[in-house]
Amino acid sequence: MDQLQIKDLEIFAYHGLFPSEKELGQKFIISATLSYDMTKAATDLDLSASVHYGELCQQWTTWFQETTEDLIETVAYKLVERTFEAYPLIQEIKLELKKPWAPVHLPLDTCSVTIHRRKQRAFVALGSNMGDKEANLKEAIEKMQAKGIRILKESSILTTEPWGGVEQDCFANQIVEVETWLPAPVLLETLLTIESEMGRVREVHWGPRLIDLDLLFVEDQVVYTDDLILPHPYVAERLFVLESLQEIAPYFVHPTLKQPIRNLYDDLKK
């Protein structure tokens, strides 16, 4: 991937835990590597396919100075977040924030933090069987977009029978392919937050749901923790999930089963 490097941009601002840091201010230094495809900018002189580094440096300065934070980790994270939002063509950012005047009363050159994030593709399953089901799906998608999750593809909406043995109304189900720079655990947390914002209450396992957002895949990641399992353990057992997946991503290969979605769908459909 092509890279734009910005090194040692100095900004005077008022971040820090100590009152004196917020009152007197101090110098901070930003260095960053931004990865994106420069082909179109280089060959067609298309400025819209490039990052204007002068404007970006001015934006960083403005963003950096408009708030006061206790931790430089917070400042660096917000810079990465806002840079991704402002420049959709950027695929990866590695940003170092140095604090050369850190209040450490020992021989010290500088303290710094580095935030490194890259965009990833993921698949999210949506389901609803309460209220206006299709409106619920649409609202969930809008909330994902509002939280910086870019929607790449949407499957058709399917009407499906309840899964799990609990008697209840039919579901409206859909799958979206998304692009996000959020790590998988944070993406899951964001989806759960959306569920909560929309009023979902977890009372009965596999019971009626105003909205259900399941993280199915994050690229080829395999994760097994108390809070997150990737790939989602029931993908290959649910025909309606595979049907929607094969509609928008038939050649995506299941990371552990090593089979494309279209094959898994055909096998379960038999």
User: What is d(CA 168, CA 154) in angstroms, rounded to the nearest whole number?
Assistant: 26
Measured CA to CA, the distance from residue 256 to residue 220 in angstroms comes to 8
Nearest to 187 by CA among 250, 249, 255, 119: 119
Contact 162, 118 (CB under 8 A): no
By residue count, the chain amounts to 270
Nearest one of 172, 125, 174, 178 to 147, comparing CA atoms: 178
218 backbone φψ class: left, alpha, beta (φ>0; ψ -120 to 50): beta
Quickly count helices (H) and strands (E) in the chain: 8, 11
Q: Set out the domains of the chain in order of their start, with CATH numbers.
A: 3-118 (3.30.1130.10), 120-269 (3.30.70.560)
DSSP state of 117: E
Task: Report pLDDT digits (tens) over 232-259.
Answer: 999 999 999 999 999 999 999 999 999 9
- Neighbour count for residue 73 (Cβ, 10 Å): 13
pTM greater than 0.85: yes
Would you state the pLDDT for residue 105?
87
pLDDT score recorded for residue 225: 95
Chain Cα centroid distance, residue 169:
32
**pLDDT at residue 213 tops 90:** yes
Radius of gyration of the chain (CA): 22
Catalytic pick among 99, 143, 147, 269: 99
- ∠ CA 186-253-36, rounded to 5°: 60
Decide if pLDDT at 209 tops 90: no
- pLDDT of 204 reads 53
The pLDDT assigned to 116 comes to: 98
Centre a 10 Å sphere on the Cβ of residue 248 and count the other Cβ atoms it contains.
Answer: 18
Q: Is 183 helix (H, G, I), strand (E, B) or coil?
A: coil
Predicted confidence (pLDDT) per residue in 141-185, tens digit: 999 999 999 999 999 999 987 765 566 688 999 999 999 999 999
99 catalytically annotated: yes
Would you give the end-to-end CA distance of the chain in angstroms?
42
